[in-house]
């Protein structure tokens, strides 16, 4: 069944309408016909099972037959990742969607080549948010992660946001396996974290000053194994750990 995306404000009532980018894909790429069944995701937990009811030149009318709702994950996961060269960030966003991230924050660090002004940063944000939309359509995720505009470490930390279990991938010696930090949190609080995050540096890692700043804000340094990983591999490693450990512990009550 083909999946489409509509923002939640467009998903009220017994019928839905696809236009713009989604209609073009349905009409001119998939060549849908009346009577075909499709799925529409609203990005905030709902999936609408629909039947194509009417075709127009640049839009489709869909009749809703069923609505399914999925609760948000009990722990909100943030990926804070230095922007790599080229289009690698798009692959990272796709994998982050599949691995349950609720937010992706692209970072402009000292060793990041890409530098953007305000207009450029917003343009990138819009493009990368569309990558996340395409990713939920591909994998069937009902919750759409937010992709923030590229920003510096200082800009993110200046907001004073509280992440209960922040981790940072580190090549320094003072680091622990992420499971140790999760276990320590559970022992201290008697529950799993409601929010977690993982910081991933650029090729060559964060500078020592950047790492000290991130750790001073509360992030726990973790090892990602004995090998030096590429940015995209490190991001997948961190998210896969959090996704697996948090879900399995929640399901088993451990």
**pLDDT averaged per 10 residues, the chain (length 254):** 96 94 95 97 97 95 96 95 94 97 96 76 93 97 96 96 96 88 96 97 93 96 92 96 86 62
- The answer to whether 85 and 113 have CB atoms below 8 angstroms apart is yes
Q: What is the pLDDT of residue 242?
A: 96
Q: Sheet with 76-82: list strands edge to edge.
A: 146-147, 103-107, 76-82, 195-200, 165-169, 220-222
Separation between Cα atoms, residue 207 and residue 242, nearest integer Å: 25
Q: What is the pLDDT of residue 253?
A: 61
Burial grade of 50 (CB within 10 A; 0-12, 13-18, 19 or more): buried
Q: What is the pLDDT of residue 251?
A: 65
- By DSSP bridging, strand 146-147 and strand 220-222 are unpaired
How many CB atoms neighbour CB 205 within 10 A?
A: 20
Domains of the chain are: 2-69 (2.40.240.20), 76-252 (3.40.1280.10)
Q: What is the pLDDT of residue 12?
A: 87
Q: What is the pLDDT of residue 254?
A: 60
Q: What is the pLDDT of residue 108?
A: 95
């Amino acid at each position: 069944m083909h999946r489409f995306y509509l923002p939640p404000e467009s998903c009220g009532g017994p019928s839905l309408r696809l236009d713009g980018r989604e209609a073009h894909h349905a009409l001119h790429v998939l060549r849908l016909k009346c009577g075909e069944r499709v799925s529409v995701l609203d990005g905030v937990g709902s999936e609408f099972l629909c039947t194509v009811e009417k075709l127009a030149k640049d839009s489709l009318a869909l009749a809703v037959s069923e609505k399914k709702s999925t609760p948000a994950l009990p722990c909100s996961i943030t990926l804070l990742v230095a922007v790599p060269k080229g289009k690698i960030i798009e692959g990272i966003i796709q994998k982050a969607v599949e691995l349950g991230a609720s937010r992706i924050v692209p970072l402009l660090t000292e060793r990041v080549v890409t530098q953007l002004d305000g207009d450029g940063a917003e343009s990138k944000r819009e493009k990368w948010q569309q990558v996340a939309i395409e990713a939920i359509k591909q994998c069937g995720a009902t919750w759409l992660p937010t992709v923030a505009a590229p920003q510096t470490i200082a800009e993110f930390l200046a907001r004073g946001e509280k992440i209960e279990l922040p981790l940072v991938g580190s090549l320094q010696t003072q680091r622990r396996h992420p499971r140790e930090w999760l276990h320590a949190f559970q022992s201290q609080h008697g529950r799993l974290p409601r929010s977690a995050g993982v910081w991933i540096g650029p090729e060559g890692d964060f500078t020592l000053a950047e790492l000290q700043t991130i750790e001073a804000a509360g992030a726990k340094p973790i090892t990602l194994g004995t090998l030096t990983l590429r940015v995209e591999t490190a991001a997948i490693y961190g998210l896969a750990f959090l996704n697996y450990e948090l879900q399995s512990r929640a399901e088993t009550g451990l």
